[in-house]
Chain A
Amino acid sequence: MANTDTKPGTMNPVGKSVQRLDVMEKVTGAAHYTDDIPFGNSLLYGRVKRSTVAHGLIKRIDVSKARALPGVKVVVTGEDFPNLIGLYLKDKTVFARDRVRFIGEAIAAVAATSEEIAEKAIELIEVDIEPLPAVFDAEFGASKDAPLIHPDLANYECPNFIFPVPGTNISNHFKIRKGNTEEAFKKCAVIMEKKFRVPHVQHVPIEPHIAVAQVEPDGDVTVWAASQSPFSQRSSFAKALGVSESKIRVIAGYVGGGFGCKAGVTMENVAVALASKSGGRPVKVRLTREEEFFTNFVRQGLIINLKIGCDAQGNVLAMENNQWWDGGASTEYGVNITRAGGYNSSGPFDIPNITTNAMCVYTNHPIGGAYRGFGMSELHAGIIQVMDMLAEKIGMDKVEFLKKNAIQGGDFNVTGMKMHPVGLQDCIDKVAKELNFSVKEKGSSPTKRRGKGIGIVWKAPSMPPNAGSSAEVRLNEDGSVTVSVGGQEIGQGTFTVMAQIAAEALGVAYEMVKIEGPVDTRYSPYEWQTVASRLTWSMGNAVRRAAEDARKNILEMVAEAWGENPANLDIKNGYVVSMKSEESISLKNIVVYGIPRPGDQGWIGGPVLGRGTFMPSYVTNLDKDTGQGARAVVHYTTGCQGIDIEIDTETGKIEIIKAVSVFDVGKAINPDLVKAQIEGGFIQGMSSAIFEEMKLVNGVMKNPSFVDYRIATTADLPRENIAMFVETAQDDGPWGARGIGEHPMTPTIGVLANAIYDAVGVRVSNPPLSAEKIYLAMLEAGVVS
């Protein structure tokens, strides 16, 4: 075979740690993020007038002085945009209209010829607000005594899997009623009950939110945004403006970190609103770091009361799980986070009797949105600790207790869904072995105490049942491949993984594949959102099918030319080869120009284009009163984390000696990228567990800067951060793959709390697990004096 003209490359790249596609651009400063796009002198800069009152009625807005300021081109208020919007629950408007509901809420916006003028104009807008009693605690907010934040809740539009309770602040009440919890508790030898509070935290992408919008001469609107969900945004912008989707175009380049906060629509609507009245001039809105902290999506706080019991042999028999999610001023996204808190409420445990009430509660806090594995860090923070307490109380080895109760393939889980095969037992074994878990080790000095913690998690993609993906694969004259997708490269490496999948399915080298970018809703195929750790699995299936479609077209063309059966042909290393005749032909040229028939009798084939789509068809709704159903979700990714720490008893400071995280990824399409997700996810989890908390006092965030809201730096790392995986194939994943992007940070709060307990015998249960909190807890317990 004459393969001499083939580029050197990586054949069969699935399962190989190929180099990322996007690194050359990113290490040279050439990668374009939204703020890097030039718009010339016509660009206007938008700024937002925000509420300084947590809850109140707007009595007067006077924008006349702002409008009169030279350089101000547009001023908009809630008067101009009455439509209700929201991803799941349509409960908000672009700008507050009659009422403000949190400090930081947008009331008006200005577009001007410079940022300075826009800022000055904002100060000239006069707003009178009559304060109302506010709600700053979710449990109180759910009570009958709380003032109503959304009196119109009964009229809001939402999908049929969200259950608002009109006349209250509860915008979703998700229930599980499985087995008979009351009877089962009577049979328990040990019952542990504990209440946990998980504070609000921020996503903190290093790139703040940014959007630029422009109305085209034909009235269509183009939006350039740092976006995890261009297609969902298109839909939301269309609703906000009262136009159809085809009138909106979203272009989304590289995203400088998302972690969920750039999914759905938040501040981007302000840019669209301003641009709709700017006479065709583009308007850029970019959040300051301070705004990034409290005006946009936050990880909502959770109050959770957990009661779990087991029999004398350590079998967990029953769980009662009450959750109050601090959804904030709008729960357009939060209702679904609450739902996830509900249908995952058992954690990865086989528990026959469960009663869960997961409630999404309106408060006068910032608005809750998706954050990396939404709901799961918060939920597992408590479950991991109570399971640890149970194992200790019953006198059982902690690893044995986890293995005994961990969910397995074939079990009917919390929602009655039959579990697919999971490798959770292997994950637990690997962590225990790597951490030498059963061996109690001594501190490195008399003032230091050593301890180890372990815990297990699960998480399913939390999404509508019919979230779809699509992809196109085109071949070029030189035999290279262009793949179009609508999912976003937000740092996780999805473009690389998609190129691997296309190359493998088609039979070309990885290096021959390029992913088309930026994602542009006018040209890119539909993708629901880049969230939920769903792309490798869902978009991966679409890309695989598109590549297989292209492959089929190529083989049929060559089969006709050679008078062979396509079944006897294969594509290897960019060549079509016949297994019968051993004849071969390069993909070059034929994939665009076709193949001439012998004897000048015309042509066969032509440009090769493959199409693939994927949408799960089997997810069913759950019963409103019991939370039971055939299949609530597409699948679960499970895993185990263990942490070995040393605590300085003189300061309470934690040093992590070793962290081990093992997840069942089904199939690692790119093992090194999987490990990079696990390592980075662990540090994000560690950072949120030890350092992070939005200090909200009467609705005011007291620490909206990197100085006061500290995230992990190079100085805070564990000595070892070990990432491993097991591969129990997912039946409908590409080569068995399922997602891993979010899961690595979800166990960390609980596992660290268990390690602290193991080290010093004091349970510091509510994050942040700061040195100060640990020291004071040790002092109170008499561990130190």
Chain B
Amino acid sequence: MGFHQISVKVNGNDEVVTVSSNMTLLRMLRESLALTGTKNGCAAGECGACTVMLNGEPVNSCMVLAVEVDGQEITTIEGLAKDGQLDVVQKTIIEKGGVQCGFCTPGMLISARALLNRNPHPTEEQVVEALVGNLCRCTGYSRIIESVQAAAEHS
């Protein structure tokens, strides 16, 4: 199996990582960079728990090979808060009570942030569409959807 050295910007920090050819971005983040906030729920691109931003776009990091992100920018849940201040999507999901077990929360928040970056004032339908790939078994979603709408109003 081949190994590769890649350079990648993660949450604003330049990182140089040695990765194997078959290593996923998810494993690189969790195992090589100790960024365990990104969760592994299915390893098949179906649940959204591993969602991160790749150059600003939400992707399932279990479906991306680490070698593919050479020279790219990644944002994970650990990079959402800036200077000790929570991102507005983090604040509003707390306010609306959209967190229960918390396992889907990081992926959900990344999808929400990516949506608001490309569309600061989404309709309810657009929020629903943006989060449709993030499965949650606890909350019933409505508080999460409300929290993204509230975040849009705040910003």
Binding site for B on A (CB under 8 A): 19-20, 22-33, 35-36, 38, 203-208, 254-259, 288-289, 490-493, 672-673, 676, 679-684, 705-707, 711-715, 717, 721
Contacts and interface: CB of A to CB of B under 8 A. Distances in A.
A34 to B, nearest CB: 11
B94 A27 contact: yes
Contact of B94 (A19, A490, A682, A707): A19
A29 B135 contact: no
A28 B44 contact: no
B61 interface: no
Interface in B86-121: 86, 90, 93-94, 97, 99-106, 109
B33 interface: no
B97 A36 contact: no
Nearest to A680: B140
Nearest to A28: B81
A652 to B, nearest CB: 22
B43 A256 contact: no
Contact of B99 (A26, A255, A684): A26
Interface in B118-140: 127-129, 131-140
Contacts of B42: 208, 289, 705-706
B143 interface: yes
Interface in B33-71: 34-44, 46-47, 49
B10 interface: no
B5 interface: no
Contact of B101 (A255, A288, A684): A255
Contacts of A206: 39, 41, 47, 49, 101, 103-104, 135-137
A25 B104 CA distance: 13
B72 interface: no
B47 to A, nearest CB: 6
Given A289-B41, A289-B42, A706 B105 contact: no
Contact of A29 (B76, B100, B104, B127): B76
B143 A27 contact: no
Interface of B: 30, 34-44, 46-47, 49, 76-78, 80-81, 86, 90, 93-94, 97, 99-106, 109, 127-129, 131-145
Which of A254, A257, A714 counts the most chain B CB atoms within 10 A? A714
Contact of B100 (A33, A203, A680, A713): A680
Contacts of A254: 101-102
Contacts, number: 155
A27 B142 contact: no
A672 B99 CA distance: 12
Given A491-B100, A705-B46, A684 B106 contact: no
B128 A28 contact: no
Contacts of A707: 46
Given A256-B102, A706-B46, A28 B80 contact: yes
A757 B81 CA distance: 50
B89 to A, nearest CB: 9
B138 to A, nearest CB: 5
A324 B120 CA distance: 54
Contacts of A203: 137
B141 A29 contact: no
A222 B129 CA distance: 44
B103 to A, nearest CB: 3
14 contacts: A23-B99, A27-B90, A27-B105, A206-B103, A257-B103, A289-B41, A492-B100, A676-B139, A676-B143, A706-B47, A711-B135, A712-B141, A714-B131, A714-B145
Given A254-B102, A492-B100, A28 B142 contact: no
B142 A717 contact: yes
A715 B77 contact: no
A259 B137 contact: yes
Contacts of A257: 101, 103, 137-138
B141 A683 contact: yes
B108 to A, nearest CB: 10
A680 B98 CA distance: 10
B142 A679 contact: yes
Contacts of A38: 34
A33 B30 CA distance: 12
B140 A35 contact: no
A289 B44 contact: yes
B99 A27 contact: yes
B24 to A, nearest CB: 12
Contact of A684 (B38, B47, B137, B145): B137
B7 to A, nearest CB: 23
A714 B124 CA distance: 11
A737 to B, nearest CB: 19
Contacts of B144: 714
A322 B44 CA distance: 41
A35 B46 contact: no
Contacts of B138: 257, 491, 680
Nearest to A672: B97
Given A29-B76, A31-B102, A208-B41, 11 more contacts: A23-B94, A32-B36, A33-B103, A206-B103, A208-B40, A254-B102, A683-B140, A684-B140, A714-B141, A714-B145, A715-B128
